[in-house]
Structure 1
Amino acid sequence: MCTDFLLKAADGSVVNGRSMEFGAELNSRILVVGRGTPMHSTTPDLSHGLRWTCKHGIVAINAFGLPIATDGVNQAGLSVGVLWLPGITEYASTASDPSRALFVGQLANWLLASFATVGEVRESLAGVDIWGGGKAVEQRLPVHFAVHDRHGHSIVIEFTDPSGKPTVYDNPAAVLTNAPAFPWHLSNIDNFVGLRARDAEPLEAAHTAFNPCGHGSGMRGLPGDSTPPSRFIRAFYLKRFASQPADAAAARNLALHLLNTVDIPLGTSRSLPENGKTEDDYTQWAVVKTLTAPSLGIRTYGNTTLMEIDLKQIDLETPGERTYPVPTEPVAIDISATLRPR
């Protein structure tokens, strides 16, 4: 389970927040890919498929020690997030042209390496044959994609058509979670249009005034559980009603507060037992990306301090893929020494 959203500041800054929830330990690392890196995908027969050269340097977060991006941003301010979509995802199992074959697990890498805008991404998808490796992969890697750019444009890419071809949706909500499919979530917004940031009006009956119990009554009915529909609605309405941030720093701060509202503590979202085992979905990490001045900040379950990477401050001109550990130990700032008598 994951939650993704986009924020726009008053000064034009664009910030993307995303949480990563998963049951199995991802053991994620920071993945850095330099410009000029040759890259390729595999085909259904495991030979070389689509080949490309990294045009835009990338900073991403991987999983399971594999060189695949689960979330990332490139030098041009394009952001791609890979989110879980089980039960309804169907990929093509073959590629009509092996030279155009792109494994779905490498789609985020290709998009980040190759494109600068949502418009370019949309146009590019017709030029590749995205395949998924059959039912085994559909069960292990059922995903959809949140794509944003520095101009504040957002799309969602899903594979829910029986043909296995991708469907691209404009994302006016600028929010994405998990199943059901994206159009269902947009329709579900209608069920909560009565939510308000302002308190409810008092009611008078039989010469008696009945007042709301404290502030926040206008948001009564906002779902608070960890299911994808509830997280989508929560992120959408809180984002909508929050005061617009003035600049990138304020937008990053708001993103962290919104991420707090969809955070899943370990042990609070457990799967039904399967083969005698249960899995605990929990927030393993969350990222905050500034797209207008590309950077990626990450915090983990064990270290909630945001650790930021400025793409202009690292070497993205040397070709090659490199990975680095994500600090996971708790960090606290000791201010005891500042509390001295004056």
Structure 2
Amino acid sequence: MCTAATYLTGDFYFGRNLDYEFSYGDEVTITPRNYPFHFRSLEKELTAHYAMIGMAYIAGDYPLYYDAVNEKGLCIAGLNFVGNAAYQEPVPEKDNVAQFELIPWLLGQCASVKEARELIARMNLTNIPFSEKLPLAQLHWLISDRTESITLEAMKDGLHVYDNPVGVLTNNPPFPYQMFQLNNYMQLSPATPENHFSKELPFKTYSRGMGAIGLPGDLSSQSRFIRAAFTKMNACSGDSEEESVSQFFHILTSVEQQRGCCLLENGKYEITLYSSCCNADKGIYYYTTYDNRQISAVYMNHEDLESSTLVRYPIIQKASIHTVN
């Protein structure tokens, strides 16, 4: 399970929690402009495209991105959508793009959500797996730039593109149901509540934060969507990079998963393996991991973006504790 979100101060920020029971060996990966992308069902190849940075698992020198942003500030994150995701057989007169090819297909060619909508309208998302050892992942996607966000869902009845006014996505149920549930929480507020229960009862607030009583605190995807949306929509910070990045990680922390709280049938626990925050305007990818809370940063523009070779940085898992005495 996962949570993705956007945040806008002076710059635009995009990131996610990746929640799972094990890691594939994730790396912060920069794909420069001349790295060749070959597609399984398309004659067109992307041998020159926008550079991108994100978290990926590298399989045979191919970046399988979980989330990424390109040099124009377009961002995408894929989140589990188990039981609802469905992909199609290739069809004529469509751009047949395999599920694992979606992020480079869009980020390589599109500078905005508007341009991504145009490519998606011509696209058929196919059921071709990367390999026998890496079967199809059941996903849906948050696609964002600094002006708008959309949710893309591939289901049995085809592709669905939804405007996403909150800039947040979790897992199930399908996005329209996630959004509808927010109606049940319209009474929540960061302000001190007033007594609307009865004029005849002298109720008083006995604690700060009572305006958010009723905000769900469990780890289900629907509850995380509501909690992340409330936190993100009410979050505020200064425009500096330090303040913005710090606040974004606090938004993600509101829905992180701790080891021991989500027990799976195999006896393992789902945890937040990593949290990311990318400054989409400057191409800086920040991250923390479950055991390393120190924020690490990788700068896309510090690399040779005219290269044809992937740039890979294994994530730092071990904590570094600053001793002050």
The answer, yes or no, to whether TM exceeds 0.5 is yes
Q: What is the aligned partner in structure 1 of residue 152 from structure 2?
A: 157
Cα gap change, 1:68/1:178 in structure 2, threshold over 3 Å: closer, same or farther?
same
The residue identity in structure 2 corresponding to 1:159 is: A
* 1:52 positional shift: 1.6
Q: Structure 1 residue 227 and structure 2 residue 220: aligned?
A: yes
Q: Structure 1 residue 249 and structure 2 residue 235: aligned?
A: no
- Deviation digits for residues 182-241 of structure 1 (CA, Å, limit 9, x no counterpart): 111111110100001111225898987432231011000000011111111101111222
The residue identity in structure 2 corresponding to 1:213 is: Y
* 1:138 positional shift: 12
Cα gap change, 1:260/1:194 in structure 2, threshold over 3 Å: closer, same or farther?
same
* 1:73 positional shift: 1.2
Q: Structure 1 residue 123 and structure 2 residue 118: aligned?
A: yes
Cα gap change, 1:69/1:263 in structure 2, threshold over 3 Å: closer, same or farther?
same
Q: Structure 1 residue 262 and structure 2 residue 255: aligned?
A: yes
Q: What is the aligned partner in structure 1 of residue 36 from structure 2?
A: 38
* 1:23 positional shift: 2.4
**Matches for 1:274-289 after TM superposition, within 5 Å:** 277-289=266-278
* 1:16 positional shift: 1.4
Deviates more, 1:197-206 or 1:116-125: 197-206
Q: What is the aligned partner in structure 2 of residue 239 from structure 1?
A: 232
Cα gap change, 1:311/1:204 in structure 2, threshold over 3 Å: closer, same or farther?
closer
Cα gap change, 1:76/1:68 in structure 2, threshold over 3 Å: closer, same or farther?
same
Between the aligned partners of 1:120 and 1:312, the Cα distance in structure 2 is 23
Q: What is the aligned partner in structure 2 of residue 3 from structure 1?
A: 3
Q: What is the aligned partner in structure 2 of residue 300 from structure 1?
A: 289
Between the aligned partners of 1:204 and 1:141, the Cα distance in structure 2 is 48
Q: What is the aligned partner in structure 1 of residue 307 from structure 2?
A: 318
Between the aligned partners of 2:197 and 2:213, the Cα distance in structure 1 is 19
Between the aligned partners of 1:335 and 1:230, the Cα distance in structure 2 is 39
Between the aligned partners of 1:294 and 1:246, the Cα distance in structure 2 is 17
**Matches for 1:124-203 after TM superposition, within 5 Å:** 124-133=119-128, 140-149=136-145, 151-160=146-155, 162-163=156-157, 165-201=158-194
Q: What is the aligned partner in structure 2 of residue 90 from structure 1?
A: 86
- Check conservation: 2:288, 2:295, Cα contact below 8 A: yes
Between the aligned partners of 2:123 and 2:240, the Cα distance in structure 1 is 38
The residue identity in structure 2 corresponding to 1:94 is: P
Q: Secondary structure at the match of 2:54?
A: strand
- Check conservation: 1:86, 1:139, Cα contact below 8 A: no
- Check conservation: 1:69, 1:106, Cα contact below 8 A: no
Between the aligned partners of 2:181 and 2:202, the Cα distance in structure 1 is 34
The residue identity in structure 1 corresponding to 2:120 is: L
Q: Structure 1 residue 29 and structure 2 residue 27: aligned?
A: yes
Identity of aligned residues (%): 24
Deviates more, 1:197-206 or 1:26-35: 197-206
Cα gap change, 1:139/1:324 in structure 2, threshold over 3 Å: closer, same or farther?
closer
Unaligned residue ranges in structure 2 (runs of 5+): none
Q: What is the aligned partner in structure 2 of residue 19 from structure 1?
A: 17
Between the aligned partners of 1:81 and 1:208, the Cα distance in structure 2 is 49
Between the aligned partners of 2:199 and 2:73, the Cα distance in structure 1 is 60
Between the aligned partners of 1:205 and 1:104, the Cα distance in structure 2 is 54
TM-score under structure 1 length normalisation: 0.86
Match of 1:52 among 34, 46, 65: 46
The residue identity in structure 1 corresponding to 2:128 is: G
Deviates more, 1:242-251 or 1:210-219: 242-251
TM-score under structure 2 length normalisation: 0.90
- Check conservation: 1:203, 1:209, Cα contact below 8 A: no
Q: Secondary structure at the match of 1:316?
A: coil
The residue identity in structure 1 corresponding to 2:166 is: A
* 1:152 positional shift: 2.8
Cα gap change, 1:205/1:145 in structure 2, threshold over 3 Å: closer, same or farther?
closer
The residue identity in structure 1 corresponding to 2:114 is: G
Between the aligned partners of 2:259 and 2:58, the Cα distance in structure 1 is 19
Cα gap change, 1:245/1:170 in structure 2, threshold over 3 Å: closer, same or farther?
farther
Match of 1:76 among 72, 80, 83: 72
- Check conservation: 1:203, 1:211, Cα contact below 8 A: no
Between the aligned partners of 1:317 and 1:17, the Cα distance in structure 2 is 25
